[in-house]
Chains A and B, each alone.
Chain A
Amino acid sequence: MSSYSITAPSSRQKWIAGTIVILYALITITPLVWIIATGFKSGPDSISYPPKVLFQPTLEGYVNLFTTRTRANAEDLAAMPPPETWYEQVVRDNGMVIAGPSRYGERFLNSVIIGFGSTFLSVFLGTLAAYAFSRFKIPLKDDLLFFILSTRMMPPIAVAIPIFLMFRTLGLSDTHLGMILLYTAVNISLAVWLLKGFIDEIPREYEEAALIDGYTRFQAFYKVVLPQAATGIASTAIFCLIFAWNEYAFAVLLTSGTAQTAPPFIPTIIGVGGKDWPAVAAGATLFLLPVMVFTILLRKHLLRGITFGAVRK
């Protein structure tokens, strides 16, 4: 094979490519590392200047993330019985007492329910629609597809007021179900469009063969197309999850007490006086974690990417 073939890059090419990519990766990861590190800093360390690279790690940020605290004066603190737990000790060391749990846990759980719920629904509906668009003659197909895409063009702020009023009438405002439906509606265009691309690349011959073998159309879809589209479905699911997990505009305007998700909550974590950067960082770190795990688990599917062309023989 000739040396300039792209199918087999030379080792020098690989080395250069690797260096550039790794350099970029290191730069791009720095802010994330910094957020994670800030989560383990004490309050003064987090806002010290010049910024501290080396610091005494503490769990203060995490304790603050999960508690609300009030300041107590020295004599009251001295009069209290000794703290029962290590986290009470951390709080007392800063001249405060724990007043109760914070809202972070609930907000996080809301994000889980709404994120995964809407991802499942949009990928489910999206796969069906994408398959239909890919395989069947549908009147005004292009217009319908474009209509689906166009729903994603409306700025969320623009639809928020009528949606809020509509949800209230239907009893959906500030509920998990309402947010799941809303995020599904927003995500479904991405799902349909990406999935249609994936399914288009699966040769029709597979299904035709299955149909001849006695499968119904539905069976052919279920047993032949779906497994072939698994990679595409997984990638799409990740993108949908990222969106729903991170969505802010609707969440900040349409949820409050019961269904508020973490993104509108995290930037607003304040400590007792001033912005509590370590607690914000701790909250962000925990919030990022499930998505990171999910991404890493599906890494192979994600990165192997779309090999549909290889099926053609």
Chain B
Amino acid sequence: MLNTMTERVAKVTPLAAVRRIRGLSDRTIAWIFVAPTIFLLLAINIFPLVWTIRLSLTNYRANQPNRPLQWVGLDNYRRILNDSDIWNTMQVTAHFLIWTIVLQVLIGFTLAWLINRKFKGNDLWTTIIVLPMMLSPAVVGNFWTFFYQPQIGIFNYVVAFFAGADPSSFTMIGSVDLAPWSIVIVDTWMWTPFVMLICLAGLRSIPSYIYEAAAIDRASSWRQFWTITIPMVMPFLMLAVLFRGIENFKMFDLVVQLTGGGPGSTTELTSINLKREAFEKWRTGYASAYAIILFVTVFGLASIYVKALNKVKER
């Protein structure tokens, strides 16, 4: 009785009314679906963040709990912004960030575009290319020190073979000039597939009828590439760049195992520098302020970026 009743109502009422009658309202469902995520993030990300802000205003040292705690106001922030070492660290990070993204986007997109030619066996080769990013960066970084060894490492052997040089005539992670590139090479090797996969997804999302229509209009493949492929893949590409950008801004595991920040401070990325302050020098308060500054930096850059991403999507 009730069922037929509802059915009859359903036939005559607009969709919104149906939703109100059957099951939970959309509004309730929306909140039930979103709440656990928000709660988890509040507990594990926001609460520590607030705690970090509090610590950043003190001289707290986590390894000397008996030391009297002093409020130092914004002193830590002032010291950081005047510290030339930290600016050096920022430059190192910028070099790493820019080059890894440029290389990964170029190589990753090219590969995706080539794979999308759908040659025979492209599935198999794609899977093989994807493998490096499956590996733990810490384990890989550790192994690359082995590959970069001038005498026993295969990287030096292969490069020397093609360059006709002596393998032990150069050292990737030991030289001030080459070390920043040694980390770019390994990160690119590892994470190009990430960009590639996302680009591939983008390329495959383009319906073929668009190309067919373009072909009927006698648009050249060059023109098709710039007017169809690039704009359609752009949102995907930008998402990939966003994630790689954020990940590499935080980069720690790979580089800490690979160079440990050395030689000297040549590859000391901000995260490594921060780790030294927080967990080796145990200047917890100072390190907290440092963390907040990093967070504000990346947050700012990312918000600008996401605005741009949304614009591209709207187009």
Residues of B near A85 (CB, < 8 A) are none
Which of these, A148, A162, A266, contacts B52 with CB under 8 Å? A162
Does B15 count as interface, using CB distance less than 8 angstroms? yes
Residues of B near A149 (CB, < 8 A) are 302, 306
Residue in chain A with minimal CB distance to B130: A295
Main secondary structure of the interface of B (DSSP, over half): helix
Residues of A near B200 (CB, < 8 A) are 303, 305
Of A5, A15, A154, most B-chain CB atoms within 10 Å: A154
Is A153 a contact partner of B139 (Cβ separation < 8 A)? no
Is A155 a contact partner of B136 (Cβ separation < 8 A)? no
Does B221 count as interface, using CB distance less than 8 angstroms? yes
Residues of B near A6 (CB, < 8 A) are 208, 211, 221, 224, 229
Residue in chain B with minimal CB distance to A246: B136
Bound complex: CA of A288 vs CA of B131, how far in Å?
A: 9
Residues of B near A185 (CB, < 8 A) are 40-41, 43-45
Is A157 a contact partner of B120 (Cβ separation < 8 A)? no
Bound complex: CA of A76 vs CA of B203, how far in Å?
A: 67
Q: Mark interface residues in A21-53 (1 if CB within 8 Å of B CB, else 0).
A: 110110011111011001000000001111100
Residues of B near A235 (CB, < 8 A) are 197, 201
Residues of B near A24 (CB, < 8 A) are 107, 111, 129
**Min CB distance, A24 to chain B, in Å?**
6
Bound complex: CA of A312 vs CA of B207, how far in Å?
A: 9
Is B246 a contact partner of A132 (Cβ separation < 8 A)? no
Bound complex: CA of A144 vs CA of B34, how far in Å?
A: 10
Residue in chain B with minimal CB distance to A147: B41
Is B127 a contact partner of A128 (Cβ separation < 8 A)? no
Which of these, A47, A146, A284, contacts B303 with CB under 8 Å? A146
Is A31 a contact partner of B147 (Cβ separation < 8 A)? yes
Q: Mark interface residues in A183-226 (1 if CB within 8 Å of B CB, else 0).
A: 01100111011000100010000001001101111110100000
Is A153 a contact partner of B295 (Cβ separation < 8 A)? yes
Given known pairs A212-B18, A249-B253, A309-B206, the reply for A267 and B138 (CB within 8 Å) is: yes
Residues of B near A253 (CB, < 8 A) are 279
**Min CB distance, A52 to chain B, in Å?**
9
Does B117 count as interface, using CB distance less than 8 angstroms? yes
**Total number of B residues with any Cβ neighbor in A under 8 Å:** 120
Which of these, B22, B29, B128, contacts A132 with CB under 8 Å? B29
Does A74 count as interface, using CB distance less than 8 angstroms? no
Residues of B near A1 (CB, < 8 A) are 212, 215
Does B102 count as interface, using CB distance less than 8 angstroms? no
Does A279 count as interface, using CB distance less than 8 angstroms? no
**Min CB distance, A79 to chain B, in Å?**
37
Does B239 count as interface, using CB distance less than 8 angstroms? yes
Residue in chain A with minimal CB distance to B292: A158
Residues of A near B38 (CB, < 8 A) are 144, 148
Which of these, A51, A146, A151, contacts B306 with CB under 8 Å? A146
Is B117 a contact partner of A9 (Cβ separation < 8 A)? yes
Which of these, B48, B143, B157, B203, contacts A166 with CB under 8 Å? B48
**Min CB distance, A300 to chain B, in Å?**
8
Does B134 count as interface, using CB distance less than 8 angstroms? yes
Bound complex: CA of A302 vs CA of B141, how far in Å?
A: 26
Is A28 a contact partner of B205 (Cβ separation < 8 A)? no
Which of these, A22, A242, A246, contacts B138 with CB under 8 Å? A246
Residues of A near B30 (CB, < 8 A) are 132, 135-138
Is A302 a contact partner of B197 (Cβ separation < 8 A)? yes
Bound complex: CA of A2 vs CA of B214, how far in Å?
A: 11
Is A161 a contact partner of B278 (Cβ separation < 8 A)? yes
User: Of the 9-residue stretches B70-78, B81-89, B170-178, B269-277, which lies at the interface with chain A?
Assistant: B269-277
Given known pairs A17-B117, A32-B135, the reply for A155 and B18 (CB within 8 Å) is: no
Is B252 a contact partner of A155 (Cβ separation < 8 A)? yes
Given known pairs A155-B274, A309-B207, the reply for A5 and B252 (CB within 8 Å) is: no
Is A216 a contact partner of B40 (Cβ separation < 8 A)? no
Is A162 a contact partner of B48 (Cβ separation < 8 A)? yes
Of B24, B47, B117, B157, most A-chain CB atoms within 10 Å: B117
Does A181 count as interface, using CB distance less than 8 angstroms? yes
Is A295 a contact partner of B127 (Cβ separation < 8 A)? yes
**A28-B132, A216-B22 provided; 5 other pairs, C-beta below 8 A?**
A24-B111, A153-B249, A158-B274, A158-B278, A158-B292
Sample 22 A-B pairs with CB under 8 A, ordered by A number: A4-B221, A18-B117, A21-B115, A34-B147, A132-B29, A148-B41, A155-B252, A156-B250, A158-B278, A160-B279, A161-B288, A188-B37, A190-B243, A211-B19, A218-B23, A221-B29, A246-B139, A252-B138, A266-B142, A306-B202, A309-B206, A312-B207
